[in-house]
């Protein structure tokens, strides 16, 4: 009995405390509901505000040159590899030149044969020209002889038969001149043809020499080899297009960022704007650049239209590498010492005691810069009071106030404390009216 009394006396206070705690736990939310909503507040601040466009991009070299081969052949030697620094004109690879050397030797032999044929044609032309000169001399002599005999026949010193012989000799000499002139023209044409063949053979030789020179692959720029696509012994075929042997980045001390900007934001981007970006390889480190170009060619992926915005960034330490993904922010506008309100306050709208949104009066259309907005302050009666604003740029967290009855430090409502917002009243249904 004593033990039972002792237990009763020990448990009784515990039961009383538990009941009191339960009563307090039930009473506190009821009291809070009766006390009305509790708001979260923020302040209007003056300071710097930057509007930006966020997008992702890819890093690359300012100039990347793909070095190919203009002739087909087998790689005989490689003098450059990945990450090799090269100078303009430096030999970086060689193709097997044996076939092209044979073509050059054949072209040289053909040229010598054509030059010999041209010399023979020139000599034949000279012979024909000499024969023409001889025929002309004979024609002149026959003409003078004919004139003398005409005079002697007129004086009856010669017979008409001798005049006829002189006339026949003159006619024969004249025909000989015509025949010699035709021969000169024919040989001149042959000589011209031979000279043209020489020029053709010279062109074939030059082409063969150029192809032989193309077996030596040289770097077109100063830079660094970032890609090598061939090995010694591999055959390259330059039938339709030049095969790419190397990719050379001209200068990695300055990089280019290709940023894919959504069509809704590209209208705010201008050349010369600042760009800040980060890469996954260096978390926490920020790099800066400048917009250099907005390319007008759209790219559509999954019905999303983007435009390529190119930006340049200094890379003196060589940390940035081609192909890295950049998380970029393009600073489209910057404001100094402006009033700004949290965007959370612009989204707030008070509720009636029954949980329905407060109905607002339709505002008159206002002229002027900016877009309309509204925030709420707590009035003297403890009720939210609207303040109409004209808003400017936003950085995603705060928005510039262009016009409105707000001052630096003014408290504005951000929202309700958790659990304090008015709840809609549940409608009661008459007994038997559904479930």
Whether 384 contacts 378, CB under 8 Å: yes
Supply 358's token pair: 């407060």
Lowest mean pLDDT among 51-60, 77-86, 352-361, 425-434: 425-434
Q: What is the DSSP letter of 267?
A: G
Q: Where in the chain is the domain with CATH 2.40.420.20?
A: 35-49+338-416
Whether 425 contacts 355, CB under 8 Å: yes
Q: Give the C-alpha separation, 316 to 425, whole Å.
A: 66
Q: Where in the chain is the domain with CATH 1.10.287.1700?
A: 98-211
**pLDDT for residue 256 is more than 60:** yes
Distances (CA, A) of 108 to 95, 118, 167, 202, 251: 22, 15, 56, 8, 43
The pLDDT of residue 22 is 60
pTM: 0.63
pLDDT of 309-346, one tens digit each? Answer: 999 999 999 899 999 999 999 999 888 888 999 999 89
pLDDT of 41-50, one tens digit each? Answer: 889 999 888 8
Q: Where in the chain is the domain with CATH 2.40.30.170?
A: 53-61+251-335
Mean pLDDT, all residues of the chain: 86
What is the residue whose two structure tokens read 């024609």? Answer: 139
Q: What is the sign of the dihedral through the CA atoms of 280, 286, 292 and 294?
A: positive
The pLDDT of residue 365 is 61
The pLDDT of residue 23 is 56
φ/ψ of residue 73, rounded to 5: 170, -175
Residue 160 or 108, more confident: 108
Domain 35-49+338-416 CATH (choose: 3.60.15.10, 3.40.50.720, 3.90.920.10, 2.40.420.20): 2.40.420.20
What is the residue whose two structure tokens read 């011209």? Answer: 192
Query: Between 98-154 and 160-213, two packed helices, what is the crossing angle to 10 degrees?
Result: 170
The pLDDT of residue 161 is 86
**pLDDT for residue 3 is more than 70:** no
Q: Where are the beta strands (DSSP E) in 233-383?
A: 235-236, 244-249, 254-262, 274-279, 287-301, 304-314, 325-342, 371-378
Lowest mean pLDDT among 63-72, 224-233, 354-363: 354-363
User: For residue 428, what pLDDT band results from cuts at 50, 70 and 90?
Assistant: low
Domain 53-61+251-335 has CATH 1.10.600.10: no
Lowest mean pLDDT among 119-128, 257-266, 360-369: 360-369
Distances (CA, A) of 48 to 129, 338, 380, 406: 97, 6, 31, 17
pLDDT of 161-211, one tens digit each? Answer: 888 888 898 899 899 999 999 999 999 999 999 999 999 999 999 999 999
| CATH dotted code for 98-211 | 1.10.287.1700
The pLDDT of residue 12 is 59
User: For residue 218, what pLDDT band results from cuts at 50, 70 and 90?
Assistant: very high
Topology of the domain comprising 72-96+215-248: OB fold (Dihydrolipoamide Acetyltransferase, E2P) (2.40.50)
Supply 249's token pair: 């980045």
User: For residue 33, what pLDDT band results from cuts at 50, 70 and 90?
Assistant: very low
Residue 247 or 16, more confident: 247
């Amino acid at each position: 009995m004593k033990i039972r009394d002792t237990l009763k006396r020990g448990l009784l206070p515990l039961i009383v405390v538990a009941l009191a705690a339960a009563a307090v736990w039930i009473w506190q939310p009821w009291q809070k509901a009766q006390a009305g909503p509790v708001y979260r507040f923020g302040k209007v601040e003056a300071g710097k505000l930057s509007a930006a466009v966020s997008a992702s991009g890819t890093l690359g070299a300012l100039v990347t040159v793909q070095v190919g081969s203009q002739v087909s052949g087998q790689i005989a030697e490689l003098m450059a590899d990945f990450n090799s620094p090269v100078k303009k004109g430096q030999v970086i690879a060689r193709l097997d030149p044996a076939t092209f050397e044979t073509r050059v030797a054949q072209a040289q032999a053909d040229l010598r044969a054509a030059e010999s044929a041209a010399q023979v044609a020139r000599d034949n032309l000279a012979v024909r020209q000499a024969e023409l000169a001889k025929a002309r001399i004979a024609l002149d002599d026959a003409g003078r002889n004919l004139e003398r005999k005409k005079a002697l026949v007129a004086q009856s010193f010669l017979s008409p038969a001798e005049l006829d012989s002189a006339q026949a000799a003159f006619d024969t000499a004249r025909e000989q001149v015509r025949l010699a002139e035709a021969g000169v023209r024919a040989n001149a044409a042959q000589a011209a043809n031979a000279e043209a063949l020489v020029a053709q053979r010279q062109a074939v030789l030059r082409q063969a020499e150029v192809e032989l020179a193309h077996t030596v692959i040289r770097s077109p720029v100063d830079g660094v080899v970032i890609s090598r696509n061939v090995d010694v012994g591999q055959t390259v075929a330059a039938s339709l297009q030049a095969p790419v042997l190397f990719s050379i980045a001209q200068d990695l001390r300055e990089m280019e960022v290709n940023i894919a900007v959504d069509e809704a934001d590209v209208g705010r981007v201008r050349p010369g704007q600042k760009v800040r970006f980060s890469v996954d390889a260096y978390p926490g480190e920020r790099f800066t650049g400048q917009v250099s170009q907005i390319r007008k060619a759209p790219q559509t992926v999954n019905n999303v239209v983007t435009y390529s915005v190119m930006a340049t960034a200094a890379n003196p330490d060589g940390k940035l590498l081609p192909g890295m993904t950049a998380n970029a922010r393009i600073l489209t506008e910057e404001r100094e010492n402006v009033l700004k309100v949290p965007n959370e306050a612009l989204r707030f709208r008070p509720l009636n005691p029954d949980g329905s949104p407060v109905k607002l009066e339709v505002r008159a259309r206002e002229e002027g810069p900016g877009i309309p907005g509204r925030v709420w302050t707590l009035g003297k009666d403890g009720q939210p009071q609207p303040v109409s604003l004209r808003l400017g740029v936003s950085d995603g967290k705060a928005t510039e106030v262009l016009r409105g009855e707000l001052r630096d430090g003014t408290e504005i409502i951000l929202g309700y404390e958790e659990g304090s917002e008015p709840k809609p009243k549940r409608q009661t249904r008459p007994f038997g009216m559904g479930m």
